[in-house]
Amino acid sequence: MKVKLIKYTNDPERTCAMAAKLCYSNSDIEDISGKMSSDDIKKIIRHILSVRHYSVLEHASFTFGIEGVSRALTHQLVRHRIASFSQQSQRYVNLEKPDYIVPKTVSKNKQINKKFEETMEYLWDTYKEFVDAGIPKEDARFVLPNAASSKIIVTMNTRSLFNFFNLRCCNRAQWEIREMANLMLKEVKKVAPIIFENAGPPCNTGPCPEGGKSCGRWKKTRKEKE
Active site residues: 168
State the DSSP H helix or E strand holding residue 104, giving kind and residue range, or none if neither.
helix 104-107
**Rounded to the nearest 10 degrees, how much is the dihedral formed by the CA atoms of 167, 172, 176, 182?**
50
Of residues 109, 12, 3, 110, the one with CA closest to residue 57: 12
Amino acid at 225: K
Q: In what side-by-side order are the strands of the sheet with 149-157?
A: 2-8, 61-70, 149-157, 84-87
Q: What does the alpha-carbon distance between residue 192 and residue 194 come to, in Å, rounded to a whole number?
A: 6
Q: What does the alpha-carbon distance between residue 40 and residue 38 come to, in Å, rounded to a whole number?
A: 5
Q: What does the alpha-carbon distance between residue 80 and residue 87 come to, in Å, rounded to a whole number?
A: 14
Asked if residues 5 and 64 have their Cβ atoms less than 8 Å apart, the reply is yes
